[in-house]
Every structure is written in C-alpha cells, then in structure tokens.
Structure 1
Amino acid sequence: MSWPTRLFGSGRRRLLASAAAVLLLAAGGALSLGISSQHHAPQPSASAALPTAGPPTSNPGKAFAAGGNTPSPTGSTASVLPGPTARTPAAPNTPAVTPTSISIPAIGVRHALLSLGQNNDGTLEVPPMSDVSAPGWYRNSPAPGQVGPAVILGHIDGTTGAKGVFYALGALRPGDTVSVTRSDNTVAVFRIDGVNTYPKDAFPTLTVYGNTTNPQLRLITCGGRFDHATQHYLDNTVVYATLTGTHPA
C-alpha cells in the first residue's frame, strides 16, 4: 500500500492534498498478495460502517501526502489509485514519542509495531511477507495520540496461507478498543467509530487520510473478494478510531 507522508504548514496538523489521490496502493501488492486457497476473513457488517460523509471531525479538504514524487501507476504490478503526480516537500522529522506495540482485545491482537517508511520508488514500505503477524506504523503519519490520523497497517494473510495480524479486522465493531503503547511508557486508548470496506480502484483518500481536529487512528488491511487471476484482494478494510484517553503503561 502507498500512504501519505508529508505534513505541511503548521506542523503535523496542516496536511497537503495534491498528491494524496495516488497514495493508497502502490505497495498494496505486498499486503494483498495471496494464494489460491484463501481463508474467508471476517467482513465488516453494514451496521459497523461509518456514514459515507466520512469520519467524525474530519476535514476532507486536507490530507497528508507522500514526500518527493508520488509514483505513477503506469507499469506497476501493484494496485495504485489513479490520480495526479505531484512534488511535495520532504517528509517531517519523526515525532519524539513513537508507538511501540498495539493491542486489540476483541480480535486477539497483541504485537510489537514495526516502523515503516518509504521505498526508493516513493511507495510505502510494508511489513515483510516473511512475518505476516507483524503490523507496522507509518512513521510519516502522526504518532498515535497526536492530532491527526495515525496509520497502522498489517497483512490479512500470507503467500503460505498463514493468517495475518489483521486477518480479523473486519470483525471489529464500534465501541471496541485499540490500545497503542508508546515510547514514553504511556498507552493511548482509542474507541472504534466504524469499519468500512472500499474498492481499491475507488479508495476515498481524503476520507481516510483527511486532517482531523483531534487524535485519530486508522487501521488498514486488504479485504473483500480475492482475485485468483491477479492474486490480489480487490478491496481495503479501514478501521476508524478516536482517542479516548491515555494512561501509564
């Protein structure tokens, strides 16, 4: 998957939209790659979805975008959202407080977090396929607990058929919680607002990555139907969550 990376203007809360339209899936092949015999991962229910207007307190006019030149979908073997190519300022410095692990009790997830950046071609670095149990935080998004949408992603499964760390992401429901332990020995606790599934060729970039006035979290994996011809999932599952508080680790 390919993610927004650059915050613009007044720190991490001012977000640039010009390149965001191409940002979701350039590295999506790694997250959506599979084999002919797939598990049937839980799918979000209609009652769990957010309204089509988007997440609460979002500002759809802004989104954070990839530093440098965003990759062109032409010639790529991965699924890439269509959109303009644009040059944006360099990525911001990594925040002083960083996430170290994630816990999602409702689906039995508890794992250390990798730190993910960008590949040489500007696409998002994804967790390695050699360990699909490992989720990762995109370090050019806000840190969980900072104002804005922090981004954590993980595989739904692996090429061997092993279930990935976010295999059951679609089973989450509003009111479930996500806890992220941070490097300052605090835990940021988020309440899930909703779970939506979007076709990869119509991904609502600004809805998912748009600036927010409060600390939020996005958990993202692949989902929907598995295309055996391309060996990719056709959709993305996105969990929206809002910070409810912090406490000592």
Structure 2
Amino acid sequence: MPRVGNTAIAAVTVTALCSGAWLLHHGADEHAPPQPSAAQARSAVVDPRSAPALPPSPPDRIRIPSIGVDAPLTGLGLTPYGSLDVPPAAKKNLAGWYEAGTTPGETGTAVVAGHVDNADGPAVFYSLGALRKGAVIEVERRDGTVALFSVDAVEVYQASAFPDEKVYGAADRPELRVITCGGPYSRTTGYQGNVVVFAHLTGTR
C-alpha cells in the first residue's frame, strides 16, 4: 500500500473497535475497562528526551510491560468510508498498525489500534486506560531493532469530539499513538469514545 499522511484517517477510526459485546452480556458496571485520570492528560511541558529517528521498517510486535501487553501486529488499511480498518475481533490478542503511514520509530506519527474487548472477554488493549506517563512501550521491528517509546499522556475523548489533528497530525520527531475504545458505555451503541496513548521515541535496542 502506498504510504500517505495520517490525515487520510477519518475521525471514525476505531468505531468498529467499540461495540462492547462482552459488557453487554456481563454488565458494564462490574467489567468496564479502566479509564485514564486527569493526571495522565497531556501537559504543556514537552519531555526533552528523545532518540534519533530510525529508518522505515514494518513493526511485528508491541509490548507494554506495565499493563501486560505482548501482542503481534498486523497491517491495517482504510475502509471504503475512510476510517482505519481494525484487526479481526475474534483474535483478541492481535493489534494493528496503519501501514500506509509512518512506521514506528521513524520521524512522524505512527498509529497502532486494537480492541478493548470482544464477545468472549477482555482483548489486547483492555487495560490501556490504566497506563501512566513515563511507561515504556516496546515495538519490535522487522529489521531486528526494538523501538522504545515513553508515554507522554493517556487521554480519553468522546467520539463526537475526537481531535483528529492532535492525534494524527505530523510530528517532527518519532511519535506513537496507541488507540482503543473507551469513555461512557451504552447498551445500544457500545463505547462512546476512545482512549489514546501519546508516546515518543526515547531509545532503541
């Protein structure tokens, strides 16, 4: 797929991630995924630490040790409606990356998305809202390098007010966005928003 800017992604990027089928059958009050607190929101202070950008290389795996994520990555394209496609719901430990955009570790904004749950229970990014600033995200790349990202913020947005430019806009350093559903839950429409993790490259190995 030809590489294009992330602005090609519409605001309805993760609608298909957010049906909440498991909550519908098991009760939202008892099983709702964690949501980020105001303390984890993005601040005006920019973390000065950074690592040199890496050459483009497709990612194969994402690990977030602090919340127990260790998942393979599959390439995602766009649907006919202009939204980001999603991994198959049945594969609950599979995440995806926008393969027409920036690869994780090169200059720009790379995008990873995954389900919060499916009909059988919690999925790959169920605990994403519990992530804290400073946590490490590891992305294993096909060229043998591992890109290490530091979390700058974890925020939740209503779908109707999703900040496209803030999430998908161009960056002058290697940055990463990890997205799943979140916010209030409705039995008729599922989750009403999205949890977004903002991170930037601080090391490699």
TM-score by length of 1: 0.71
2:204 corresponds in structure 1 to: 246
Q: 1:205 to 1:55 in 2, by over 3 A?
A: farther
Secondary structure at 1:142's aligned position in 2? coil
The answer to whether the Cα contact below 8 Å between 2:11 and 2:164 also exists between their aligned partners in 1 is yes
Secondary structure at 2:170's aligned position in 1? strand
Tell me by how many angstroms 1:218 deviates. Answer: 0.2
Q: CA RMSD in A?
A: 2.2
**Cα distance in 2 for residues equivalent to 1:196 and 1:96:** 27
Asked whether 1:45 is paired with 2:37, we answer yes
The answer to whether the Cα contact below 8 Å between 2:74 and 2:95 also exists between their aligned partners in 1 is yes
Q: 1:198 to 1:121 in 2, by over 3 A?
A: closer
- Residue type of the alignment partner of 2:89: M
- Residue type of the alignment partner of 1:42: P
Deviations 1:188-246 (A, max 9, x none): 0000001011100000111111111100000000001111122x201110000010011
**Cα distance in 1 for residues equivalent to 2:130 and 2:57:** 30
Asked whether 1:163 is paired with 2:125, we answer no
Tell me by how many angstroms 1:107 deviates. Answer: 0.3
The answer to whether the Cα contact below 8 Å between 2:56 and 2:106 also exists between their aligned partners in 1 is no
Tell me by how many angstroms 1:106 deviates. Answer: 0.4
Tell me by how many angstroms 1:123 deviates. Answer: 3.1
Secondary structure at 2:117's aligned position in 1? coil
Structure 1: runs of 5+ lacking an equivalent: 8-14, 58-94
1:215 aligned residue (174, 177, 194): 174
- Residue type of the alignment partner of 1:50: R
* Alignment of structure 1 residues 20-99 onto 2, 5 Å: 23-25=10-12, 28=15, 30-35=16-21, 36=24, 37=26, 38=28, 39-51=31-43, 97-99=57-59
Structure 2: runs of 5+ lacking an equivalent: 49-54
Aligned length: 191
Asked whether 1:130 is paired with 2:117, we answer no
Secondary structure at 1:190's aligned position in 2? strand
Secondary structure at 2:204's aligned position in 1? strand
Secondary structure at 1:242's aligned position in 2? strand
Deviations 1:59-105 (A, max 9, x none): xxxxxxxxxxxxxxxxxxxxxxxxxxxxxxxxxxxx95100001100
**Cα distance in 1 for residues equivalent to 2:99 and 2:45:** 23
The answer to whether the Cα contact below 8 Å between 2:72 and 2:93 also exists between their aligned partners in 1 is no
2:193 aligned residue (235, 238, 243): 235
Tell me by how many angstroms 1:118 deviates. Answer: 2.1
**Cα distance in 2 for residues equivalent to 1:187 and 1:26:** 26
Q: Could you say which structure has the higher helix fraction? A: 2
1:6 corresponds in structure 2 to: 4
2:160 aligned residue (201, 204, 207): 201
2:51 corresponds in structure 1 to: none
- Residue type of the alignment partner of 1:177: V
TM-score by length of 2: 0.86
The answer to whether the Cα contact below 8 Å between 1:154 and 1:221 also exists between their aligned partners in 2 is yes
